[in-house]
Chains A and B, each alone.
Chain A
Amino acid sequence: MPWSRFDSNYRAPAGERDLAFVDAIREATDQAMCLDPRVFAMGLDADDKFGVFGSMRDMTHPERILGTPISENANTGVALGAALTGMRPILINLRNDFLLVAMDQIVNYVAKWQSMFDGQCAVPLVMRSVIGRGWGCGAQHSQSLQGLFAQIPGLKVVMPATPYDAKGLLLSAIKDDSPVMMFEHRWLYKNTGPVPEEMYTIPLGQGQRLHEGSSLTVVATSLAAIHTLTACEQRGLDVDLIDPRTIKPLDMDLILDSVSKTGRLLVVDYDFPFGGVAAEITSRVCEQAFDRLREPPQRIGFPEANMPASGPLERAYYPTPDTIGERIERWIGVEVCA
């Protein structure tokens, strides 16, 4: 299996129980469905025995898991209708590229329904989708479109990087009375880390510091956060690493606090660069803490080009812990490490 090659080195500090990222998603979904009969899941292959890369297998309530035709636009409208009339749907898309088929429903309907009616209704709808490059999957199966959706008022966007966050953020998303999109990087699925058995939530809009340092603030999302952490640990980089966990709402307090300390900002977000999450964070820091910056901010993301398929091109296209680490070393040097 090609996926087996894509295991990041990241391991969270040992806890009572280690769980894989994918199992944390499965556990959160199962516990939510057991807790609340209004919670149900739907999507192409959601009810398949492999269950969305394992995240939906062996569920306690299969009667509330609906396999759907590959009609993403209608599926999204159906989920909205169910959310408006008392249910709490989890709509799953196997790859976020398929969200684009449902842009009308996501942008014109789901995102706007509450504000068009002045918040008189709840829209407790979770839209899970998988992001990440594949095995020569090419331009239509490798995108990370968080920036596109974060631009739309009315959508919350979460991107867990650790198993702990995957469970806590998904439960927060299911609990929330507004639409939440969760982007899950496929390469994180096998990562393991401590995850409590009981249900817990992580506030939407609360980031975390993954690595302590004083020379450079790196804000990194999802797999990019894990890649940056790997670079920091392998190279001993003096980096203050912030994982916002939620793209929208964004924990600007935590980011500004870090930039105030380091005076330098690098944003690592695996998405197209033009007008994306990295551009937004960079722009906000410039607007709100320009006087704290000692040097111009920098960004790492995808090139301004669509994804290639061939192995050598893929390896040239995607950032890695090494390319991130080298960029940081070139900037702040290696000798200043804590």
Chain B
Amino acid sequence: MSTAELDTINPADALRMLRTMRVARQMSQRIAKLYPTDVMETPVHLCIGQEAVSAGLCCHLTDADQMLLGHRTHAPALAKGLPLRKLMAELYGRTTGCSHARGGSMHVFDPEHGLPGSSAIVGGSIAVGVGAALSSKLSGSDFISVSYFGDAATNAGVFHESMNFAALKQLPVLFLCENNGLSNVMPVAEHAAYEIAGVASQFMPVFRADGTDALSVYREAGKAVRQVRETRAPVFLECTTKRWMKHQGHERDDLEINPIDPVTDCPIARLERFMIGASLITPREILALAKEIEAEIDDAIEFAERSPYPQPEFVEA
């Protein structure tokens, strides 16, 4: 990265991205540490390594914009505005969680921040995002929607059906593919006989970003979101990234096909190097930021721990 990037990024947005990524990263690391103790009785699909995608995208979205997520929810939901406390309490199965202990890790909800829900059956929420865009069109509203999914979701028929629908009806939806190259343990080359962006390009304009580089995502997402807003028509953005953890759970991924370089593949390290070089932040300030976020995570865990579990009669509510 060069200081030329400075021309394309607002310093406040750089700081916002760094903070967003660090919250997701540090929270995921804490979850990974706590997970073996079973305080969270829910599967967790951690986003370590993938934080730049949602952090870069959400700089360009408002609370009114609707974002539909899949099963890997934590980083994108936090980036969109879901409060840390509400997410943590949901993971702890407490009534103060964002879904009142009915959703768990894969079903997060925060309409105030444009999160109308998320789904664990891979692919289906792409269509739901298209429906939010249809709502915007039919009601004459300004908001746009984002269907946020991974590379494996493109295997599902509903992905193709949804792109067709959005293109036919000219709906203001961004198809955001966070391509971590893996469907559970299967590499993309083995699960897709097509090139994802190539398929998408038959339906709509396509942008591509390096999903391990927050500045690349910021730049391309900025263009893509602007185009959706201006044309009120669908746009596709593919961000290639890397999944550091196993598909589910607290352990590091150890697949030979998925080698991770903790320096060059780390979106946080990359942005911090850039920001220090551009005098946007100092190492000392980064340390302070990390500490501040640790305190927020402490607070969220404490909040979750002192929140009540649902009563058994809640089961038929």
Contacts and interface: CB of A to CB of B under 8 A. Distances in A.
Are both chains from one complex? yes
A75 B107 CA distance: 22
Given A82-B138, A84-B116, A117-B117, 18 more contacts: A40-B138, A66-B169, A71-B158, A71-B165, A75-B161, A77-B124, A77-B125, A77-B131, A80-B131, A81-B135, A82-B135, A86-B135, A87-B138, A109-B124, A115-B102, A116-B107, A120-B109, A121-B117
Interface in A112-157: 113, 115-121
15 contacts: A66-B169, A69-B161, A76-B127, A77-B124, A77-B162, A78-B127, A78-B165, A81-B131, A81-B135, A109-B119, A109-B121, A116-B99, A117-B100, A117-B102, A120-B111
Categorize the interface residue count of chain A. Answer: 35 or more
A81 B124 contact: no
A79 interface: yes
A315 interface: no
A108 B121 contact: yes
Contact of B165 (A69, A87, A104, A120): A69
B316 to A, nearest CB: 9
Interface residues of B, number: 39
Most chain B CB neighbours (cut-off 10 Å) among A40, A64, A105: A105
A68 interface: yes
A19 interface: no
A85 B107 contact: no
A74 B119 contact: no
Contacts of B101: 118
Contacts of A85: 66, 116, 131-132, 135-136, 145
B61 interface: no
The 4 closest A-B pairs by CB, nearest first: A81-B131, A77-B127, A74-B161, A118-B100
Nearest to B97: A118
B167 to A, nearest CB: 10
B132 A82 contact: yes
Interface of B: 66, 68, 99-103, 107, 109, 111, 116-117, 119, 121, 124-136, 138-139, 145, 157-158, 161-162, 164-165, 168-169, 317
B148 to A, nearest CB: 13
A105 B124 contact: yes
Contacts of A206: none
A38 interface: yes
A86 B137 CA distance: 12
A86 B130 CA distance: 14
Nearest to B316: A153
A84 B132 contact: yes
Most chain B CB neighbours (cut-off 10 Å) among A79, A109, A119: A109
A86 B145 CA distance: 13
A64 B138 CA distance: 8
A66 B135 CA distance: 12
Contacts of B157: 73
B153 to A, nearest CB: 12
A83 interface: yes
Contact of A71 (B102, B132, B161): B161
A326 B130 CA distance: 53
A80 B133 CA distance: 11
B135 A105 contact: no
Most chain A CB neighbours (cut-off 10 Å) among B125, B131, B132, B161: B131
Contacts of A75: 127, 161, 165
B156 to A, nearest CB: 9
A68 B169 CA distance: 9
Given A117-B109, A120-B109, A74 B130 contact: yes
Given A78-B131, A81-B132, A121-B109, A68 B165 contact: yes
A81 B168 contact: no
A81 B127 contact: yes
Contacts of A71: 158, 161, 164-165
Contact of B158 (A64, A104, A113, A121): A104
Interface string A153-192: 0000000000000000000000000000000000000000
A76 B102 CA distance: 23
Nearest to B130: A78
Most chain B CB neighbours (cut-off 10 Å) among A73, A79, A119: A73
A15 to B, nearest CB: 36
Nearest to A74: B161
A255 B176 CA distance: 52
A84 B139 contact: no
A69 B161 CA distance: 8
B117 A118 contact: no
Interface in A53-80: 64, 66, 68-69, 71, 73-80
A84 B117 CA distance: 9
Contacts of B100: 117-118, 120
A77 B117 contact: no
Nearest to B159: A74
Contact of A78 (B102, B117, B134): B134
Interface in A90-122: 104-105, 108-109, 113, 115-121
Given A74-B165, A81-B145, A116-B103, A108 B124 contact: yes
Nearest to A105: B124
